[in-house]
Amino acid sequence: MITTIERTAGNAGGYDAVVIPFSAKGEYTLSLGPQYDEAVKALAASKAWKPECGTVLSRSVFADNKFAELVLVSLGDGTASKRQLFLAMAKAFRKCRSVCAKKIAVFLDHAKEITNQKEAARKFCELPHLVSYQFLAYKSAAAPCGFEEVSFITEMPGFEEIVREAETVARGTLLARDLVNHPSMYMTPNQLAEEAVKVGSECGIEVEILRKPQIEALHMGAFLAVARGADDEPVVIVMRYRGDGSAKPPVALIGKGVMFDSGGYSMKSKMATMHDDMGGAAAVIGAMQTIALMKLPTPVVGVIAACKNMISGKSYVPGDILRSMNGKTIEMLNADAEGRLTLADAITYAVRREGAETLIDIATLTGAAKTSVGGNHAVLLASNETLAETVETAARTTCEQVWRLPEDEELLTVLKSEAADIKSSNPGNTMGGGSIVAGLFIREFTEGKPWAHIDMAPVNWSGEGNAYSSRGGTGYGAGLLYETVKRLEK
C-alpha cells in the first residue's frame, strides 16, 4: 500500500472514498465540489450526526462520473483519549474497506485542533495498514479487498517522518499478526526460528538459534520439560540488536513461544485457536524488526523459548519436579501452566548469558487475566516504578491498553512447596489472583533486575474482529514494546 502526503486540500476527484474528520465545534470549511459539499452538509445536519467522538456517517456520492464513499467522523471536543480518537478513525477506515475502496483521501487538517498532534497523527497513519490487513495464506481463491493508496491532506510540519514511523510500526504489527495466524502445522518452533533469521538478515539483527543439545547443555530443565511431549524439537531464538554500539547492557524482550498449547496432561477443553499461544514471541519479533528499522540507539536482545505443549508418553505430568536453568527446583502441578516455565528459563538466559539489566516479558499467560481486566487490556506487573511508568506511557501512545495489577506479596504464599523450591501454580487456590500469581512466579527468576510482565492473553486474538483488526491475531505488543524501548532512552 502507498501512503502519500498532499499539502493543500484540492477536490475529491479520483478517490474511491473521502474521509473528513470533524471536531465538535468545527464547521465544514472545505470546497470539494457541489456534490460533496451538499452531501457533507446533509449528513452534518441529520439527526444521526452527534458531536461525540466516534460518530461515523457515510453516503455514496456520484461526482466526476463515478461513485465514491463520503465518510464523516467526529473526533469530539478535544477531551477524548488517544485510544478513543484511534477507534473513531478506525471506524472511518473500516467503512472505507466495507465498500472495497482502493484509493482514499483523508482531509486531516479539517479537524486540525485535534489531529495536529504528532502521536495521534502517527496512530491515524498506522490505521490504513491495520484495517486493510487480510490473512489469505491458505485461501485457494483469495479475493483481496484492501487499500492501494491512502492520501493524507495536511500541512502539518514533519509529517513525512510521522508517516515513515507509522508505516514501520504497522509493518511490525502485521508481521506479528501473520506469525500468530499461521496454524501450528506450519508455524513450528523451527519455522518461527527461520522467520526470525529472515527478519535479522533484512534488518541487521544478529540471530542465533539454539537447538536441543545446546539447550540441554544450558540445563534449561523447565523449558525442556514443557517441550518433552512434542515431536517438533524446541529451539531458543536469540535476536541481538546492537543499537549505537555502546557497551551498555541490553534491554531484554522475552516472548512466550508456545506454538501450540494442548494443555498437556491438564488438557484444555477448547483448542481450535491455541496456535495463538506464541503471541508474545510474535510481538517480540515484530518489535525487534521495528526497533532495528527505526535505528533506536538502545541495545536490545530478544529471547524466545519456542516449543509445543503436547501429550505423549514422554510428556511431563502434574507432580513432576523440574530443575530450572537458574538452579531452582519447581513442583509442577498443572501442565497447562506451561508458559511461565518456558519464560523462567528464557529470562535466566537473558540475564546470565546476554547480560540484560532490564527485563520485559510478554505472554499469553493466563485465562485469569481477562477475568481481572476485561477483554480490552493486558495485565501489567512490574517490580520497578520507572519501568512500569514507561510501559504505561508507551501503552497510551500506541493505544495498546495495559492495566497494572499489584505485586501482592501475600499471594506468593500459595506457591510455597514442601517438595521443591517453588510450585509453578496452585490448582484449587481459593485466594484467586491467578494472573498475579503467575507473574510472581516469573519474578522469582528475574534475579533482582528491573522487570515488567505483560500478560496479553485478553488482547492477543480477536474472535470476531474489531474496528482495526480482522478476526485472528491482533499483533498486540509489537508497537508497545518498540515504544517502550524508545522511551527508555528518555
Which residues touch 303 (CB under 8 Å, ≥6 apart)?
236, 237, 238, 239, 252, 253, 254, 255, 284, 346, 347, 349, 350, 354
Distance (Å, rounded) from C-alpha 384 to C-alpha 374? Answer: 24
Distances in whole angstroms, Cα of residue 18 to Cα of each of 4, 58, 99, 253: 14, 10, 12, 40
Distance (Å, rounded) from C-alpha 466 to C-alpha 463? Answer: 9
From 50, 211, 268, 295, active-site residue: 268
* Contact call for residues 207 and 239 (beta carbons, < 8 A): yes
Q: Nearest 5°: CA angle at 167, between 164 and 168?
A: 85
Distance (Å, rounded) from C-alpha 165 to C-alpha 258? Answer: 30
Which residues touch 270 (CB under 8 Å, ≥6 apart)?
none
Distance (Å, rounded) from C-alpha 101 to C-alpha 413? Answer: 57
Helices (H), 133-243: 159-181, 189-203, 212-217, 221-227
Q: Is 308 assigned a catalytic role?
A: no
Three cell numbers written together for 387: 519501568
Return the residue matching grid coordinates 481463491.
Answer: 141
Distance (Å, rounded) from C-alpha 347 to C-alpha 356? Answer: 9
Which residues touch 488 (CB under 8 Å, ≥6 apart)?
251, 298, 358, 390
Q: Is 340 assigned a catalytic role?
A: yes
Beta strand residue intervals within 291-352, DSSP E: 300-309, 321-323, 329-331
Which residues touch 384 (CB under 8 Å, ≥6 apart)?
450, 451, 452
From 122, 123, 256, 340, active-site residue: 340
Name the nearest CA neighbour of 215 among 199, 226, 204: 226
Three cell numbers written together for 407: 505485586
Distance from the Cα of residue 413 to its chain's centroid: 32
Three cell numbers written together for 37: 459539499
Three cell numbers written together for 145: 479487498
Q: Catalogue the active-site residues.
A: 268, 340
